[in-house]
Chain A
Amino acid sequence: MKVKLWGTRGSIPSPGPETIRYGGNTSCVGVTLADGSMLALDAGTGIRSLGLALAAEPARLHILLTHLHLDHIQGLVFFAPAFQAQTEIVIWGPASPEASLRDRIARYISAPLSPVEVRELPCDVSFRHCPQTEWEIGSARISAASVAHRGPTLGYRIDDGDSSLAYIPDHEPALGADIDALEEDWISGLGLARNASLLIHDGQYADAEYPDHIGWGHSSLSHSISFARRANAARTVLFHHDPMHSDEQLDQLGAEARQRWLALGGAEGGIELAIERNEYELPARAASPASAS
């Protein structure tokens, strides 16, 4: 399984010289499975670049949306494959008692917010609510589960051969709870992340910023580290950077994350901040993972 980060920013695109190293595009991760199947995790503005890279690529791909906040869907109408008639796109996302996935996405892909309507997209697009049980896409088994964020929100786990990716970009597992004290089955998202080869997880706030953002649906650095330790992921990438964080601030946050991770007994290289365009090739998980415990 190959993973590429096309958009690592949270909340709103944040281009500019002060964010050029970590990137300003909002959430999107490209995944190439062992059998060549293509997935896009979320469709923030990063999906525009993914679409350009896929220009001559497969005619079928799956977009797995964690939720429908704008920073996770706003790239859809700028995704080149959606405007190619030969392309088949399957969009997966959370169910809602209010309206179907298609109808909720159509609120964005419709006038006056968009020049095109869903029905006008040239590609063959379909919308599916994620099932509660595992399902298969290509060579992978996909799991989705509701996680603590605002509104119906999913986290995903992708198992492909012996490697696994957990993707929980918007997550506040410590809302009203102490992650370090809770039993594992009472921690939001932990079932998805446990022993993953790579965990991509919300790391939006520095600890000092979190008290002003309790309930906004995101993690502090301490929460992210605690979650990663409890998950026993081989490698954790902190994602969904706050739009107010410059590269210099993220450098500091990343250094603090590494320092605290090592101090807790974590493996060197076990945690890092997401950088746009970074790529990962996930190996099969070792039997005895090197990670913090």
Chain B
Amino acid sequence: MTQRPLELILARNLMSALSTPAFLVDEGGVLVFYNEAAGALLGKRFEELGTVGAEEWGSMFGPFDKDGEPIPYDELPLVVAVRNGRPAHADFEISSADGARHQVEVSAFPILTAHGSQGAIAVFWPAGSSNGAGNR
């Protein structure tokens, strides 16, 4: 009788209605959902990708620091939020499926409940992109 924690279900429902790119991981760091806006940013819909294991998703679309170097998985805001139970924020660049680079600001926060952490949400704010597609 497995069922996702209600907080994740409600988070997904909310994210589905947002035009802001948003990502959802469970308590184990598995990427369990991202919304249509995030799919547009990445160039790949969640339905095409499905869930992605912890550590795997971290390198799928970059991300890169201002020097173009890959950012370690452990330092990603979503990872910090789910592991440490605290909010995190960062600016970095991601690479979409078509190779375009997008500069984004990322804010992540943990989903804390009476039963502890159930996961984390990250919201991406596109700040610009190499082909201009990320501007909103």
Give A residues with C-beta under 8 Å from B. Answer: 95-97, 132, 143, 145-148, 152, 157, 175-177, 185-192, 194
Contact = CB atoms under 8 A, between A and B. Distances in A.
Contacts of B90: none
Looking at chain A's contact residues, the main secondary structure is loop
A132 B4 contact: no
A148 B4 CA distance: 12
Nearest to B17: A176
Nearest to B7: A146
Contacts of A95: 114-115
A77 to B, nearest CB: 27
Q: How extensive is the interface on chain B, given as a class? A: 10 to 19
B6 to A, nearest CB: 4
B102 interface: no
A190 B3 contact: yes
Interface in B4-44: 4-7, 9-10, 12-14, 16-17
A250 B115 CA distance: 39
A180 to B, nearest CB: 14
Nearest to B12: A186
20 contacts: A95-B114, A95-B115, A96-B114, A143-B1, A145-B6, A146-B6, A146-B7, A148-B9, A157-B1, A175-B10, A176-B13, A176-B14, A177-B9, A185-B2, A185-B3, A187-B9, A188-B3, A188-B6, A188-B10, A191-B1
Contacts of B14: 176
Given A176-B10, A176-B16, A188-B10, 12 more contacts: A95-B114, A97-B114, A143-B1, A146-B5, A176-B17, A177-B13, A185-B2, A185-B4, A187-B3, A187-B9, A188-B9, A190-B3
A146 B10 CA distance: 11
B6 A147 contact: yes
Contacts of B5: 146
Contacts of A190: 3
Contacts of A192: 1, 3
Contacts of B114: 95-97, 152
A189 B114 CA distance: 18
Contacts of B9: 148, 177, 186-188
